[in-house]
Structure 1
Amino acid sequence: MKNYFYIFILLFTVFYSCRNDFDFESSTGNLAFSKDTVYLDTVFTNIGSSTYTLKVYNKSNKNISIPKIQLGNGNNSKYRLMVDGVPGKVFEGVEMLAKDSMYIFIEVTADVIDTDPTDFLYTDTILFGEGSQTQEVELVTLIQDAYFIYPQRTQNPDESFTYETINLGIDNDGNPIEIRGTVLDETDPINGNELHMTNLKPYVIYGYAVVPSNKTLIVDAGARVHFHAESGLIVANNASLQVNGTLSNTDDLENEVIFEGDRLEPNFSEIPGQWGTIWLTKGSVNNTITNLTLKNATVGFLVTGNDETNIPTLTMNNVQIYNSSNVGILARTGNITGSNIVINNSGQSSLACTFGGNYDFTHCTFANYWPTPNQTAIVIDDYDGNPIYALTQANFNNCLIYSSTNYSISLKKEGSDSNFNYQFNNCLIKFNDFSNQFSSHPEYQFTGSKYTNCLIATNSNTNKPDFKNPNDNQLYIGENSAAKGSADFNFSSGTNDILGYPRINPTDIGAYNFTIFD
């Protein structure tokens, strides 16, 4: 029994000495921080921000207890904190070990009316400690007002919600195909005329917004349209979309129309697949797109069917499409005319002219530097070869077609030659058939009549486009580009490049005139 008593005394002594190691003294205001000010990037009014972090350091040799960590505006603050895994706005007795650190996570959801009316900034502080030893870190967020377009919802008896939906037809089993969305209204009680999008403040769309039959959505120069996840725009039968951007004078693209996601933080500025698509359905007419930049969609434009006339369903000029997780422009039996189109970084193909159709592109740059080994710049097919999917024409004049993979074009013909009509005139095309697997393929005989005066990049050292930085969507061509002076001026006379500079003879292949890089 005596031995057990000595063991107990020994354990008590060890335990007590360990407890001394975890004594905490009150903080004396000597904390260090990873930032003096935390800038939570621009968010829309009443839309939650991303989560930002602040690291707090106890650089002393003592364990400390911070008497209080709190937001300057206390429980009235629009900011939210998480300290040591606990959410809140006021925390007391927060302990830190010697030479240790901890993360504080910060979010905000604020209304534009909460901001300073002179600069639309919403600010607060995080206070550490009390009295004269209080330290603080500033919090700053720019809140941007917007028009919000979203499907209405109705609360059910079980407190769930039923949302407004759009009917897209029926599936093979006769069941309705519905997606969450709303029809744009000329007399919306909050937004006014939703079929005329101005540049007064941005538009944020939740779900799919529909341009109804016999109506036209007009988008003014300088307008900004933001799409939430799984959102987009649908142009219905006999409806039209007119995007009326103009050339800008600065890098801010102040006159350009921009379609992109609704996450405004810099970390999201180039992330693909943040929203759905712009869908021009079969029967939509007279769609015109001028000076538009479209970014970070799943499919940039989905063009299904045409109106069976000689008038293009879609006319595009000065259009840039970047970071589409699937396809930049996906046309199915489309009827498209385009000039000065630039597409890059698409998960599958930058341009897909599928199920036949009618296409005419001049001075376009179709590139694809998506970081996988299987993507391409252009795909053309006639589906199963049925005459209803005939490729009436696919003309590419003075176009630059290039990818980070070996094959920038893919031509898939299933029907007769007479129903598969394509023509490349004075184009620069990358096609590196390193294993000669296509050497006898009839569609890739680049000296044939379907390829007039084309430059073929058969390896990485020949006929290089000399892009400035294609991985960052900078597809200007330099003075050493093979595209320089290699275009047919008959397709160029009287036109400007995508930046508004006149084309002079000899002119350059692609959407850009060559430039001398810094």
Structure 2
Amino acid sequence: MRQSLFIIPILLITLLWCSCRKDFQYDTSSGNLEFSKDTVYLDTVFTNIGSSTYSLKVYNRSNSDIQIPSLRLAQGNNSSYRLNVDGVAGKEFENVPLMAKDSLFIFIETTFDISALNQNEFLYTDAILFDEGPKQQEVQLVTLIKDAIFLYPAENADGTKETLLLGIDEEGNEIRIEGFLLTDEQLSFSNEKPYVIYGYAAVASEKTLNIAAGSRVHFHKDSGILMGEGASLNVNGTLSMDTLLLENEVIFEGDRLEPEFSEVPGQWGTIWLAPGSTNNTINHLTIRNASVGLLVEGNSGLNPPKLSISNSQIYNSLSINIWSRSSSINGENLVLGNAGNGSLVCENGGVYSFLHSTIANYWSNGFRSGAALQISNYNEATGVSGQDLSASFINCIVDGNTFLELSLMSDQANSFDFSFTNCLIKFKDTNNQFDTNPLYDFTNTTYYNNIFLNENTDFLNTAKNDFRLGNSSSAIGKADPGTAFLVPIDILGTDRTSEPDIGAFEFIAGGQN
């Protein structure tokens, strides 16, 4: 026993001494490193905007502990790439240890200023060099840098950002958001360079923001466009020949260009047509990944309507694609796709007309509480009485991945006039909870004419917001021909005057891809 007590302290001392040794023996790297990839592609970024962080894994497959004599960027300290090697930031490293059968992580970022090159796009490259001379190995770095026009609030003397006054709350306090007024020189967006907006870009009274065909507008987090009293928005997209490139479409989306952000909802705020804005027209516009695609408020009695929108798609909004409050909208050839609540919400009354529109919500990013189409003449959240409502839907699809995709709510204090003609509607009242509600009496021709209830839409790919019609769609050939002549071309430019289909898309036999 005494002998054991004597041996234990000696073992502890030996272990402690070994753990403190700093003189491990390393072999010099022999040029046999292996890598998780031979080229690191950093996805497209805007000039002077930092990229996401990308990783490279370096493997030592040998049975020996090795030391990499040098690990550096080929352009050295002049490189616009930045490295982090196992937790240490820099651009040049010496004697990097790598144990046998082990690996190390290298994290890579870049920020590049393209302004001096007089180019709208520039492919920027460099390389990570491991060792030198005959044993040197390398991994290429590649990223596309885009030039852009940046619009943002000014910075005040105290370091705060410029703000816009929205109104006064019940306690007399100002309501403000970070934003700025566009100058006259900034009111015509072109397709020469993309635009990147920080905060809310507002348009002054009696001014019009014109956006040319092919324009690309990117919004930073919590940013958007605000059309105030007397201001107008004019989006002038045109039909594109390439359905993937959409060269003539106007596109509103977030400012993160990496593929992993392409379908992330809620990356930016909204296009806000505030009370008092007038004569807003939109043609061939795609809005994606907003919090609310279009927020349309007030002016329900306008003629022409507050908003005329055609040949446009809005999808992947965190909340609602089009949210209208006591307003007026004429829409045709619209696709209002997946959203966290409703695809189209018209509340507090208003005047609405939708022709050949596809309103379909197959949201899969979590629980969805709202129907694809929601219509009311009051504010459900507050219960406050709203205004009279008039809504007409002809040759439209109302569909989604829940049983009840149509919600109608009337306070009976205001008129509630609506009609659906030659529409395909999903409303599966499996619990018979709406049997006695006259608003859902689909045999009442005051509200419903030639309705196709709970039939197969057969969309091509609802997860990707592709609501073109498949071979088995019940929407094929069932549209009202007279209305089809009012909108003779579908959203993709296909003629619909012969045996027209319900919704924004005409079915093309054998022509889908």
Residue identity in the other structure for 2:502: I
| 2:67 corresponds to | 65
**Cα separation, partners in 2 of 1:164 and 1:61, compared to 1, 3 Å:** same
Instruction: Give the secondary-structure state (helix, strand or coil) at the position aligned to 1:30.
Output: coil
Pair 1:298 & 2:291 matched: yes
Task: Out of 213-222 and 77-86, give the one that drifted further.
Answer: 77-86
Kindly provide the amino acid, as one letter, of the partner of residue 424 in structure 2: L
Paired with 2:176 and 2:122, the residues of 1 have a C-alpha distance of 39
Q: Alpha-carbon deviations, 1:29-83, whole Å to 9, x = none?
A: 2111111111101100000111111111111111112122211112221111111
Matched, 1:406 2:403: yes
- Give the corresponding residue for 2:491: 498
Going from structure 1 to structure 2, the CA distance change for 1:3 and 1:298 (only over 3 Å counts) comes to: closer
Contact 2:121 2:146 in 1 (8 A): no
Equivalent-residue separation in structure 2 for 1:275 and 1:78 (angstroms): 28
CA distance in 2 between counterparts of 1:78 and 1:21 reads 36
Q: Is the 8 A contact 2:378 2:384 kept in 1?
A: no
Describe the shift of the 1:2–1:367 C-alpha distance in structure 2 as closer, same or farther (beyond 3 A): closer
Residue 275 of structure 2 corresponds to which residue in structure 1? Answer: 282
8 Å contact from structure 1 (residues 428, 455) kept in 2: yes
Q: Deviations over 1:226-258 (max 9, x none)?
A: 000000000011110000000001120000000
Amino acid in structure 2 at the alignment position of 1:185: T
1:340-365, Cα deviation, whole Å (9 max, x unpaired)? 01011100001000110000000000
Structure 2 residue runs without a partner (length 5+): none
SS of equivalent residue, structure 1 residue 56: strand
- Alignment match, 2:172: 174
Of the three residues 465, 471, 483, the one matched with 2:463 is 471
Query: CA, structure 1 residues 166+468, in 2 after alignment: closer, same or farther (shift >3 Å)?
Result: same
Aligned residue in 2 for 1:148: 150
Whole-angstrom CA distance in 2 between matches of 1:166 and 1:154: 13
For 1:336, give the aligned amino acid: I
Equivalent residue, structure 1, for 2:217:
225
Q: Give the structure 2 partner of residue 460 of structure 1.
A: none
Contact 1:346 1:375 in 2 (8 A): no
SS of structure 2 residue aligned to 1:396: strand
What are the equivalent positions in structure 2 for 1:411-422 lying under 5 Å apart?
411-416=408-413, 419-422=415-418
Determine if the alignment matches structure 1 residue 363 to structure 2 residue 361.
no
For residues 384-395 of structure 1, what are the structure 2 equivalents within 5 Å? Answer: 389-395=386-392
Q: State the TM-score, normalizing by the size of structure 2.
A: 0.93
More deviation, 204-213/79-88: 79-88
Gap runs ≥5 in structure 1: 187-192, 458-462
Match of residue 195 from structure 1:
187
| Change over 3 Å in CA distance of 1:431–1:307 after alignment to 2 | closer
CA–CA separation in structure 1 for the residues paired with 2:498 and 2:279: 32
1:77 matched to 2:79? The reply is yes
CA distance, structure 1, for counterparts of residue 371 and residue 438 of structure 2:
19
Q: Where does 1:298-317 land on structure 2 (aligned, <5 Å)?
A: 298-306=291-299, 308-317=301-310
What residue number does 1:270 align with?
A: 263
Higher mean C-alpha displacement, 130-139 vs 278-287:
130-139
Q: Distance in 2 between matches of 1:118 and 1:219?
A: 19
Deviations 1:211-237 (Å, cap 9, x if unpaired)? 110000000000001000000000011
Which among 99, 120, 123 is matched to residue 122 of structure 2? 120
The whole-number CA distance in structure 2 between the counterparts of 1:287 and 1:47 is: 32
**Which residue is equivalent to 1:257?**
250
Letter in 2 for 1:97: M
Query: What stretches of structure 1 move > 4 A for 4+ residues in a row?
Result: 1-22, 113-119, 384-388
In structure 2, C-alpha distance between the alignment counterparts of 1:115 and 1:59, rounded to whole Å: 43
Q: Distance in 1 between matches of 2:120 and 2:339?
A: 41
TM-aligned CA deviation for residue 391 of structure 1: 3.4
Matches of 1:453 and 1:197, distance apart in 2: 44
- Following the alignment from structure 1 to structure 2, what is the Cα–Cα distance between the partners of residues 439 and 4? 87
Distance in 1 (CA, whole Å) between partners of 2:428 and 2:399 is: 11
- Once the 2 structures are TM-superposed, how far is the Cα of residue 497 of structure 1 from its aligned partner? 0.5
Distance in 2 of aligned mates of 1:86 and 1:109: 19
Secondary structure of 2:160's aligned partner: strand
Deviation of the 1:443 alpha carbon: 1.1
Matched, 1:47 2:49: yes
Q: In structure 2, how many angstroms separate the alpha carbons of the residues matched to 1:53 and 1:114? A: 29
Q: 1:413 to 1:2 in 2, by over 3 A?
A: closer
Contact 2:340 2:368 in 1 (8 A): no
> Does 2:338 match 1:336?
no
- TM-superposed CA distance for 1:514, in Å, is 1.0
1:383 aligned residue: 378
Distance 2:194 2:100 in 1: 49
> What is the CA distance between 1:101 and its match in structure 2?
1.4
* Aligned amino acid, residue 99 of structure 1: K
CA gap of 1:199–1:99, structure 2 versus 1, over 3 A, is: same
**Which residue of 1 is the match for residue 105 of structure 2?**
103
Q: Distance in 2 between matches of 1:21 and 1:323?
A: 57
Q: Give CA deviations for 1:399-429 in whole Å, capped at 9, x if unaligned.
A: 001011111111111124x601110001000
- On the 8 A contact 2:121/2:145 being kept in 1, the answer is no
Asked if the contact 1:355/1:381 (under 8 Å) is kept, the reply is yes
Distance 1:446 1:118, change over 3 A: closer
CA drift of 1:126 comes to: 0.9
What does the per-residue CA deviation read over 1:108-152, in whole Å, with 9 as the maximum and x for residues that have no partner?
110114769596111111111233212111111111001100001
Aligned length: 502
Q: Tell me what 2:478 maps to.
A: 486
Does structure 1 residue 452 correspond to structure 2 residue 444? Answer: no
Contact 1:120–1:142, Cα closer than 8 Å, also in 2: yes
- Written as runs of structure 1 = structure 2, the 5 A alignment for 1:207-226 is 207-226=199-218
Higher mean displacement: 88-97 or 363-372: 88-97
Conserved in 2, the CA contact under 8 Å of 1:226 and 1:261? yes
Corresponding position: 1:425 with 2:421: yes
* 1:279-316 superposed Cα distances (whole Å, 9 cap, x missing partner): 00111110000000111000000001016333200000
Identical-pair percentage: 52
Paired with 2:378 and 2:389, the residues of 1 have a C-alpha distance of: 13
**2:197 is matched with which residue: 202, 205, 213?**
205
CA RMSD of superposed structures (Å): 2.3
